[in-house]
Structure 1
Amino acid sequence: MRRLTKAQQALAASNLIFTVGSGMYLTAGVLYFTEAAHLPNGQVGLGLLIAGLVALLLGVGVGHLADRHGARRVYTVTLIVQAVATAAFLLAYDFWPFVAIVSLATGSKAAGVAARSPLIRRYGGERPQEFRAYLRAVTNVGISFGALGAGWAVQVGTTSAYSTMIWAIALLTLASAAFLAFVPTVDPAPATGSRRWIALRDRPYLLLTALDGVMAIQFKVLTVAVPLWIVGATTAPRWLISATMLTGTVMVVVFQVRASRGVDSPAAGALAYRRAGFAFLAACALIPLTAGMSPLGASMLLLAAIVVHTVGELWHAAAGFEVSFALAPEHATGQYLGVFGLGAGLAEAVGPGLLIWLCIEWGRPGWYIVGALFALSGVAAPVVVWWASRVAQSTRHPRESDGARRVAPVTRRPRESDGHVALRR
């Protein structure tokens, strides 16, 4: 097992603490707004849509700031802002205050993802994609603990229990920011002679971002659609909400690094996208069958669907790690990963409302439409990745970045000299 450096340990510790709070929010955030703040489902979906649009506007700009003014400093600020906004959820009892507060929280979270990217590239070793996969495994350890706390709040179901959960999330986010003091600073990237917003002019990378964003709606299936489906359309017990979250997170902890190990080129990433799309289609075909079943039958089928969905999630995440880093020049990592984060922003903006409308309001046919959307995105991925790789190969100097080195020989067999040393837990 390769030993983590001190910088990697600090990043992992910060990530672990942050994601315990994220696990609480992902598991029960929607239920807090609907059951404790008493906002209608439709207003929650619309508010999350607006918040996602705000996040779309912030990611690229903050990523560019991280490249030019120091990633650690910018990332710390985003975490502090997010902590304050999370605490303010306790004031979100009307629609417009809810929109303003959740927009600030969602926007700062998206900005933080972009600001952290140069830190991962700088301290991630020879293949930062693999360290990113390791961080995702750590993320899901944190989420699993957070899901347990959220399960308590959901089971108790009182306003006081939900408020305690919100305070815990805010404090954990502040603690995560404090741990960044143990991460060395990253020198700002030197200015280049190229145009400033090069990522926004990279058309195939933008198309790839949009494609990944459509598929990233799958993350909202487990955090928005499944909890509301369990509560409103099945006889399954409410504790199954935490059980489904824990099932997925444990699978990611155990298998994410292993799944990413074989996705070591843009071409392999494209194939992983395609496999993920079909796995999501299968899961979306199983979930609506639970309506009208007995509590035990619904619980067993839902857990089986979550297993299938999570297999797709492993492939989707591995594909995103590879193509987003491999096709981004090193001097503009924050900017490019900020652009790629627009896909997650698209999922944040469109995903909750779309899933509530199709899967919850419409019901079974909506689940089939969502599954087909994922499958079509996966089928389109190889063509888009091929185009992006060709453009990257023709426009970047081979020594410009580690990502460019990996793009040029897309179809060759990887060699040990490429630095394919896998992180193991």
Structure 2
Amino acid sequence: MRVLLLATLVNAFGNGAYLTTSVLFLTTVAGLSPATIAAGLSAGAAAGVLAVTPLGYVADRYGPKRLSILSMIVLAGSYTALLAVHSLMPFILLSCLIAVATALVKSANGALAAGSVPAASRLTMRARLRTMTNAGMGLGTLAGSIPLLLHTPVAYAVILLVNAATFLVAAVLVARVPGVAPQTTPVGGPRLVALRDRPFLAFAALDGLISSTYNDLLGIGLPLWLATGAHAPLWLISVALVINTAGCVLLQVRMTRGVDGLAAARRVALRGSALVALSCAIFAIAAGRSPWLAGTLIATAAVVHVLGELWLSTGSWAVLFAMAPPWAQGQYQGAYFAGRGLGDMVAPPLVTACVLGLHGSGWLVLAALFAGGGLLYLPLTRWAAGTRSAASSPALPEPATPHP
């Protein structure tokens, strides 16, 4: 567990540093236009969504450890190859390769984490991984601010190479983790069982939309709102993001305590969606207030938002682990991330349209989305429970015996 957490921290640090400078690297060093960047990233996102579930099956079939190491080596080489990209088609090809390898990392690492600990500890393990991810991204963002101050091509290229190096370091660390035995699909059953599990696919689509939207509230919605609607100081964006990062790092593991099974998962998901809906309503009433009152309201909304986010993420992981058979963790992880990928395509224009097009009313529309979405977790988890017998429940069996 400690090795996986350290590998996650190292890799998240590199990702955070590169994401901070990626657009400037691609425009100033690679010389790509914004339209080219958008086309490449969109193509990569589509490739990742299509590949993530089949690659999860591959991780189950051949063992998640070796697939995780392989994909991280591919990512290290792919990011390094960006130094030689200066036109559309090479950028699209590399974006697709990066997206597919990232999809494999997510599926393989999810299956590796799930198989490395007892079933009762999977939720806590997932929470610790997310804590390390947030901590690493935060530290990487700080490191990425240095080339922003220097604003030289060399500085941006160094950050790119640092990110590539963190994939190699993470691969070396994962090589020290005991492997999870390859899983075999039950005789007579479909190989891609996750794509035939209608309750799970419905859950993945709903959770992907909800999760992507609450992530974009602070990254997209709040900056647009402060600039065009609330007319409050823009430094409040940093305040909200600091509150969110601190809450995720300090409270994520605590929020998983006592959550076990589908019934507990839907309770915390409903509680989390209600709190995120409340935070949207608080954002809405910040418009037109004095700077100190607007700041107080936005800070309060950020606190409420992060508590809701933590409960929602805990609930979604608990549903994932409860619905996935022990022999198909990788492909269920893949289908889960495919839902998140689809949500990432929908959420940015949705949040932008609500905040810019509807202004204060748009925040209330988003609040209704979270409240209504939270209520849908109830029938979805009941539907899932009705399709699973006690004998096939993944919460009961232990993972396969690890081997080197």
Length-normalised TM-score, structure 1: 0.79
Give how far 1:260 is off.
0.9
- Sort the Cα spacing of 1:222 and 1:93 in 2 relative to 1 into closer, same or farther, 3 A: farther
Letter in 2 for 1:185: G
SS at the partner of 1:236?
coil
Asked if 1:236 corresponds to 2:228, the answer is: no
- Sort the Cα spacing of 1:291 and 1:51 in 2 relative to 1 into closer, same or farther, 3 A: farther
Letter in 1 for 2:312: H
- Sort the Cα spacing of 1:167 and 1:351 in 2 relative to 1 into closer, same or farther, 3 A: farther
Q: Among residues 71, 74, 97, which one is paired with 2:67 in the alignment?
A: 74
Deviations 1:109-134 (A, max 9, x none): 23211111221122123421221112
Deviations 1:205-242 (A, max 9, x none): 1111111111121223334444566678766356x655
Letter in 1 for 2:244: G
| Residue pairs, 1:55-204, within 5 angstroms | 55-87=48-80, 99-127=92-120, 128-153=122-147, 162-193=156-187, 194-204=189-199
- Sort the Cα spacing of 1:160 and 1:285 in 2 relative to 1 into closer, same or farther, 3 A: farther
Residue 210 of structure 1 corresponds to 205
Give how far 1:45 is off.
6.3
Which 10-residue stretch deviates more, 334-343 or 346-355?
Answer: 346-355
User: Following the alignment from structure 2 to structure 1, what is the Cα–Cα distance between the partners of residues 274 and 249?
Assistant: 22
How many residue pairs align between the two structures?
393
Give how far 1:330 is off.
0.5
Letter in 1 for 2:208: G
SS at the partner of 2:192?
coil
Letter in 1 for 2:134: N
User: Following the alignment from structure 1 to structure 2, what is the Cα–Cα distance between the partners of residues 171 and 247?
Assistant: 30
Contact map agreement 2:205 2:343 (CA 8 A) in 1: no
Deviations 1:366-403 (A, max 9, x none): 4443333222211111111111111112xxx61x4542
Asked if 1:370 corresponds to 2:362, the answer is: no
Unpaired stretches in structure 2, ≥5 consecutive residues: 399-404
Deviations 1:141-191 (A, max 9, x none): 212212322444556666665544433323223321221111122221134
User: Following the alignment from structure 1 to structure 2, what is the Cα–Cα distance between the partners of residues 360 and 91?
Assistant: 38
Contact map agreement 2:119 2:395 (CA 8 A) in 1: no
Give how far 1:44 is off.
6.3
Contact map agreement 2:224 2:355 (CA 8 A) in 1: no
RMSD: 3.4
Letter in 1 for 2:310: L
Contact map agreement 1:115 1:334 (CA 8 A) in 2: yes
Which 10-residue stretch deviates more, 182-191 or 313-322?
Answer: 182-191
Asked if 1:403 corresponds to 2:372, the answer is: no
Letter in 2 for 1:236: P
Letter in 2 for 1:116: N
Residue 264 of structure 1 corresponds to 260
SS at the partner of 2:179?
coil
User: Following the alignment from structure 1 to structure 2, what is the Cα–Cα distance between the partners of residues 141 and 267?
Assistant: 30
Deviations 1:22-51 (A, max 9, x none): 3335666567768987855x8766665443
Among all aligned residue pairs of Structure 1 and Structure 2, give the percentage whose two residues are the same amino acid: 32
- Sort the Cα spacing of 1:356 and 1:32 in 2 relative to 1 into closer, same or farther, 3 A: farther
Give how far 1:76 is off.
1.5
User: Following the alignment from structure 2 to structure 1, what is the Cα–Cα distance between the partners of residues 104 and 317?
Assistant: 17
Give how far 1:289 is off.
5.8
User: Following the alignment from structure 1 to structure 2, what is the Cα–Cα distance between the partners of residues 117 and 157?
Assistant: 37
Letter in 1 for 2:319: V
Q: Among residues 3, 6, 20, which one is paired with 1:10 in the alignment?
A: 3
Contact map agreement 1:283 1:306 (CA 8 A) in 2: yes
Residue 410 of structure 1 corresponds to none
Residue 252 of structure 1 corresponds to 248
Letter in 1 for 2:318: E
| Residue pairs, 1:10-49, within 5 angstroms | 10-25=3-18, 40=34, 48-49=41-42
Residue 275 of structure 1 corresponds to 271
Letter in 1 for 2:163: I
Give how far 1:346 is off.
1.4
User: Following the alignment from structure 2 to structure 1, what is the Cα–Cα distance between the partners of residues 196 and 125?
Assistant: 28
Which 10-residue stretch deviates more, 122-131 or 76-85?
Answer: 76-85
Give how far 1:339 is off.
1.4
Which 10-residue stretch deviates more, 106-115 or 253-262?
Answer: 106-115
- Sort the Cα spacing of 1:314 and 1:80 in 2 relative to 1 into closer, same or farther, 3 A: same
Give how far 1:348 is off.
2.7
Unpaired stretches in structure 1, ≥5 consecutive residues: 1-7, 407-425
Letter in 1 for 2:343: A
Residue 402 of structure 2 corresponds to none
Residue 325 of structure 2 corresponds to 329
SS at the partner of 2:233?
coil
Contact map agreement 1:143 1:249 (CA 8 A) in 2: no
SS at the partner of 2:274?
helix
- Sort the Cα spacing of 1:287 and 1:341 in 2 relative to 1 into closer, same or farther, 3 A: same
- Sort the Cα spacing of 1:137 and 1:88 in 2 relative to 1 into closer, same or farther, 3 A: same
Give how far 1:350 is off.
2.5
Contact map agreement 2:57 2:191 (CA 8 A) in 1: no
Give how far 1:63 is off.
0.7
Residue 51 of structure 1 corresponds to 44
